[in-house]
Structure 1
Amino acid sequence: MNLYLFCTFSVLKQNNKIKRVLITQWPEYVFKPAGTSVDMHCFQNDTDYDYMYWYRQLQGKEPVLIARYVAQNPTYEKGFETGFKVGSTERKKWSLTVDVKKDSDALYLCAASFHSE
């Protein structure tokens, strides 16, 4: 099974100013067999936003929200209630654990925001 991660920049508009936010995501690539689990992590380099998100993008499809994480409380989207666990050990760092299945092959993305939408 191949789980792919992608490190990304987010661009936010706040008070009519563009703000570039760097999110570091690791590991960059993960290869795990079905029946195991994999941990992925994100870190807000220069921000400290309260709203954190994980997405899954299947090949040829748009990213789909897996879960949001606010105030130590994960909320999972329909279809992601099992096999996915979101958590945090530090204020600016959060993680996603995926129980690897044969259909887990995807690009996993994280994001952070200062508000909920």
Structure 2
Amino acid sequence: LEIFTSFVSSVLQTPAALQRTVGGNANFSCSHKVSEVFYLYWYRQRQHGEPLICIGYLYSTNINIESSFQHRFTLRGDSTKHSYLEIHDLSREDRGEYFCAIRQHNDINSLSADTKPPTLKLCTFSFNKLNPVTQ
């Protein structure tokens, strides 16, 4: 599992790089210093050009995870400061780009995703090779 992020001024998503295998866990962090943030969202995009899928969101400390993600995905945190996304028991279906976005006002048109989404790749290892094979 490889995750890449870029750093921007209003939304910071980490780690910059992470590598995991099928069956492992992945942890993402999102923080910001924007005042009056009402919602913090987590999204996944499986491949470039495919639709964004909402994993869940935080409204202050209230957490809502979409039903299709509830079995292995955990959200923690506070939308006014930071949030954590944890994925347990990684499978190949978890491949894609993950990112957070904040909504500063109650107006739905003010959604802000100022960070490049991290890419998540799952790796399997062959016993006769030393290097992982990205799938």
Q: Determine whether 1:49 maps to 2:37.
A: yes
Q: Counterparts of 1:20-99 in structure 2 under 5 Å? A: 22-60=10-48, 61-88=50-77, 91-99=80-88
TM-score by length of 1: 0.75
What percentage of aligned pairs have identical amino acids? Answer: 20
- Counterpart of 2:126? none
More helix by percentage: 2
The answer to whether structure 1 residue 105 and structure 2 residue 104 are counterparts is no
Deviations 1:48-76 (A, max 9, x none): 41211100011131221100111312111
Query: Shift of the alpha carbon at 1:96?
Result: 0.2
- Residue equivalent to 1:4: 3
Which structure dedicates a bigger proportion of its chain to strand? 1
TM-score, structure 2 length as denominator? 0.66
Q: Which runs of 5+ in 2 are unaligned?
A: 109-135
> What is the distance in 2 between the residues matched to 1:5 and 1:116?
30
Aligned length: 105
Q: Aligned-residue CA RMSD in angstroms? A: 2.3
Distance 1:78 1:3, change over 3 A: farther
Larger Rg: 2
Instruction: Please list every run of 5 or more consecutive structure 1 residues that lacks an aligned counterpart in the other structure.
Output: 10-20
Instruction: Provide the rounded CA distance (Å) in 2 between the counterparts of 1:27 and 1:42.
Output: 9
